[in-house]
Chain A
């Protein structure tokens, strides 16, 4: 590889404000019919969004690769200093070409570089241990990492900073499709995850990241998952999850966390933020769920672990969630409840319940907390302080809106409801009982729901099902490619 001697400072890879990545180090620009690589050597403030083959007036050089050929360095016209003269391009590792496998390409890439993958099926697991790199497929449906139910994870980023994964498909891995763990700065864009056994697109113990324009189906755990982070500073946006155990799961995550503009349908459960001491950083809290479409999450044929299977038939359900905002969602056609605030009963826990003052503790502090001398046999995680407003909820078998509790009077949980369009609720007249903009009044016992009823129904629910054994539709054929995927600027 021929590399630039000077590179812009890294660390700006994840931009929370834009729907498409905007970085100084690597910016795609679509060029019809050609692959353009803008190389290093610029003045540091060039126009990184140019769609032109012409350089931006800086000292940046460009090189063109015939897009009809394999997007390796074959066909490169080494017209300027970005080429090492040996057919390579600064800041870009081509797979195949520079490396035979994605893992070899990732290992070859230096911080600030991009691994660009040609269409093909790659039967490998990839570990990322280099900061500040981007892994991109040149064709979302055509670049396929296939685990054949024998490999564990598709792409796994481990304890690194600023790793973006873009425009490719991961399928049939035993554990997870795309997985960031212990990462500061992550992004998954235009990803397709299909039939990955546990989680499809998965950020754990990771902060400052986003998942956008992605699709996940066929995972028994959840299609999309952000867990164990506070504050997360995370975003799930413009994505789609269907035929999973849970469409979205957010165990013990929250704080500057948003799930928006996405669709969750035909999962066993649509959206599932929950608390539990089996993993660190409890409780789940402070996540905004807005402007999503959530429908028909009753799908007993979707793969599921047993933990998820008992919650089937709910659109948005927050077992033990605290301080969430659920607003402007369209929620329809659920066998049980459209939007449910419920307790989570955790048997044989790993800690005691956090106090309200503990709710502000970050994950780093939680990691150092000693365990108490006595651990209860059971914890009841109630759902507190959630705002449910402006949602359109319809056609729910049990109730459009619901709240219930176990250890406390439901009216003491400080949840509220306003400006929702709905027909039924448990308890009745829920917006009169606890409006978000004033004092409530009424009888909380009318049509109140006892969650023990669901416990009794568990035996009759569809059982757990592995991804390997599931029969679900393939991903839609029209999932869009990432704009500008074939162009990189390595300035």
Chain B
């Protein structure tokens, strides 16, 4: 079952494919430029010791972002093949 959830709701260690994305905001433009695009696979590596920010793996490298940004990124946890 494909399920669309927020990137911030992804369990630690799980991978998903980015689906939805806000159009405006310099944060989201930069995230895009860092290679987090619709169709890209991301893995939620861990949350920081105090729960925020999050560490994700995208295109083979590690990136941090705050939950407030990850809340706006929609991912599909179990993409249909």
Whether A associates with B in a native complex is no
Binding site for B on A (CB under 8 A): none
Binding site for A on B (CB under 8 A): none
